[in-house]
Amino acid sequence: MRLASRDHLMKFTVMAMLVSMAAVISYFERFIPVLNIPGVKLGLANVVTLMALLLFSWKEAFLIAFARVLLVSFFGGGPVSLLYSATGALFSLIAMRLALFLKDRLISVVGVSIIGAVVHNTAQCMVLAIILKSFDVAWGYYPILIYTAVVTGFITGYICLHFSKAISYTPIVKKQD
């Protein structure tokens, strides 16, 4: 049997750590209500998705986000909250991957994070509209969701900015290059 290389192990371990971090953040996020509607979340776990995008490819980031969403729905959330977090995670991942093309030229990680957060909450709002079968009600909530998205996006982006600086001195990043 061929043993996994050091680089492989390192990557695998970091990915597993990111999943557990994301799951914990996502779990505790449930206790911060945004709209009085169960399932709608702030999107703080996006911080890990963004870190994963910075460290690895979008495939690995997708795996991490997917594992997190599944894990947290098992911890207790139910199908409705799974729908919110899965849609939010998927759309914000796609948006942040696309926004990363503009990184360093136009915007920094903070900008990428804000875009991700706004798309995350827009996706949640769409799910809300579909579940309630009422566009009007969801539209009424949309401004509040954008305000919170800008704030959380800024916080997560700022964390990511400093995280990526700190991590650039460790072997985790060097091995990926």
Partner 1 sequence: MKKLDLVLAALFILMASVILFFNLQLKTEGETAVVTKDGEILTELDLSEDTIYEIEINDQYNRVKVEDGYVSMDHANCRDQLCVHYAPISDGPSSIVCLPHRVVISINLEKQGELDAISQ
Site for partner 1 in 102-161 (CB under 8 A): 106-108, 110-111, 114-115, 118, 131-134, 136-137, 139-140, 142-144, 146-147, 149-150, 153-154, 157-158, 161
CA distances from 126 to 41, 47, 84, 85 (A): 13, 22, 9, 12
Q: Which of 15, 23, 34, 39 contacts partner 1 by CB under 8 A?
A: 39
Q: Which is nearer to partner 1, 29 or 60 (CB)?
A: 29
Largest Cα–Cα separation, the chain: 60
DSSP structure string for 55-91: HS-HHHHHHHHHHHHHHHHHHHTHHHHHHHHHHHHHH
Q: Which is nearer to partner 1, 43 or 157 (CB)?
A: 157
Number of other residues whose CB lies within 10 A of the CB of residue 92: 30
DSSP structure string for 91-112: HHHHHHHHHHTTBTTTB-HHHH
Q: Which is nearer to partner 1, 14 or 51 (CB)?
A: 51
Q: Which is nearer to partner 1, 58 or 142 (CB)?
A: 142
Considering only CA atoms, which of 99, 90, 106, 97 is closest in space to residue 45?
90
Residue 168 interacting with partner 1 (CB under 8 A) = no
Binding mask 46-75 for partner 1 (x = CB under 8 A): ------------------------------
Residues lying near partner 1 in the complex (CB under 8 A) are found at 36-39, 80, 106-108, 110-111, 114-115, 118, 131-134, 136-137, 139-140, 142-144, 146-147, 149-150, 153-154, 157-158, 161
